[in-house]
């Protein structure tokens, strides 16, 4: 049976390649056109590695890589949670500029979610949005045990933020004074955005193989990656961006295990965190999305903002899914406003500096 599924994946490679070409490669050429002067070529996207770091062990034993900047005595801590097939370095521009704006007034914490970046690999059964919420709670308890919190999540990271607030209304949500939800949704992704674009029998077959015959995973790995990676690449940016930035985004996807890709894709389709919204209904909120995002469509952000009474809705025109990398100034300004609202204006930002490229 498994052999037949493997053969089916391999035998369908031609049609899969066609899907990838139509949904991804053609769009890549339209959306990501290298600019004449690569303004991002001098960016060190791994600069966060020099920040203070530690490893947090989750309740089920998965090691999570953590980085932080700012004093532990800061009056407020902002925890950034990255999205699907990314890692903490996707917050590169936010870490650099917001640390300069806030100085010692704000502590920032970043981490790699399970199965991503330098955090531990996971089994198929551990690829679950609820589990990501527990992981976020574990990071907070270990690294930020006291004081007010602002939680900022992008894509699947936003779902993790909601999952943490739903599951821990007293120990976590009670400390939250602000929530930033970027390019994300509270529910309903199965029939729109990424869920719809990646409804493919090969992906479903590979997921079955991962669960029932993990030793056979290598056979279908390349084929499944050829479906998912081009779609994510095409959806990343809505405008012309630096080739160095494109390469960085592609590398994050390439470095993500295919097992993580496939099994968290199902989790994204099934996730429903609408029950989390009452826990954050009374805090300052930011909902932000690019209007050229077809991983999680802009309409989903509008729906989410309508359910949060204190939300600022920010539409970033022409932005794709990786809005924090494509339009960092707009994102930095929005997060800065969120923190100022969440702290009743106690955090006074320094003059801003615009990002070039």
**Does residue 356 lie within any of the structural domains?**
no
**Does residue 351 lie within any of the structural domains?**
no
Note the Cα 123 to chain centre separation in Å.
20
**Does residue 354 lie within any of the structural domains?**
no
**Does residue 348 lie within any of the structural domains?**
no
Top pLDDT among 253 and 221 is at: 253
Q: Show the domain range for 120.
A: 2-342
Q: Which of 95-109, 156-170, 203-217 has the lowest mean pLDDT?
A: 203-217
What pLDDT is stored for residue 276 in this prediction? Answer: 97
pTM: 0.86
**Does residue 350 lie within any of the structural domains?**
no
**Does residue 352 lie within any of the structural domains?**
no
Spatial CA neighbour of 122 closest among 114, 132, 133: 114
- Cα-based distances in Å from 307 to 158, 175, 269, 285, 313: 15, 20, 20, 11, 11
- pLDDT by residue (tens digit) across 34-76? 555 677 778 999 999 999 999 999 999 999 999 999 999 999 9
User: What is the residue-averaged pLDDT of the chain?
Assistant: 84
Residue 142 belongs to domain with CATH number: 3.40.50.1820
- Could you write out the DSSP letters of every residue in 5-65? HHHHHHHTHHHHHHHHIIIIIHHHHHH----SS-TTTT--TTGGGGSEEEEEE-TTS-EEE
- pLDDT by residue (tens digit) across 177-209? 999 999 999 997 755 545 555 555 555 555 555
- pLDDT by residue (tens digit) across 127-151? 899 999 999 999 999 999 999 999 9
Task: Please give the tally of structural domains in the chain.
Answer: 1
């Amino acid at each position: 049976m498994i052999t037949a599924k493997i053969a089916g994946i391999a035998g369908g490679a031609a049609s899969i390649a066609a899907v990838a070409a139509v949904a991804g490669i053609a769009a890549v050429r339209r959306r990501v056109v290298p600019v004449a002067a690569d303004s991002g070529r001098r960016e060190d996207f791994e600069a966060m590695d020099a920040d203070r770091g530690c490893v947090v062990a989750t309740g089920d034993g998965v090691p999570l890589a953590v980085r932080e900047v700012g004093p532990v005595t800061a009056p407020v801590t902002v925890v950034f949670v990255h999205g699907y097939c990314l890692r903490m370095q996707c917050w590169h521009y936010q870490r650099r500029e917001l640390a300069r704006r806030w100085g010692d007034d704000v502590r920032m914490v970043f981490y790699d979610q399970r199965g991503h970046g330098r955090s531990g690999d996971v089994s198929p059964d551990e690829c679950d949005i609820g589990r990501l919420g527990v992981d976020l709670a574990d990071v907070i308890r270990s690294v930020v045990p006291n004081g007010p919190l602002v939680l900022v999540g992008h894509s699947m990271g936003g779902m993790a933020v909601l999952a943490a607030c739903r599951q821990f209304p007293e120990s976590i949500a009670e400390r939250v004074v602000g929530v930033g939800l970027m390019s994300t949704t509270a529910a309903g992704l199965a029939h729109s955005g990424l869920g719809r674009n990646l409804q493919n029998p090969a992906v479903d077959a590979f997921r079955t193989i991962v669960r029932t015959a993990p030793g056979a995973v290598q056979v279908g790995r390349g084929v499944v990656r050829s479906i998912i990676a081009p779609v994510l690449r095409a959806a990343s940016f809505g405008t012309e961006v630096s080739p160095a930035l494109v390469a960085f985004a592609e590398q994050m996807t390439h470095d993500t295990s295919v097992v993580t890709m496939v099994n968290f894709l199902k989790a994204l389709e099934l996730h429903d965190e609408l029950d989390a919204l009452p826990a954050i209904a009374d805090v300052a909120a930011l909902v932000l999305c690019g209007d050229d995002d077809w991983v999680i469509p802009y309409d989903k952000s509008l729906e989410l903002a309508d359910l949060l009474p204190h939300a600022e809705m920010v539409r970033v025109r022409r932005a794709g899914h990786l809005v924090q990398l494509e339009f960092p100034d707009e994102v930095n300004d929005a997060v800065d406003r969120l923190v100022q609202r969440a702290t009743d204006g106690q955090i006074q930002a320094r003059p801003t500096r615009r990002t070039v490229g």
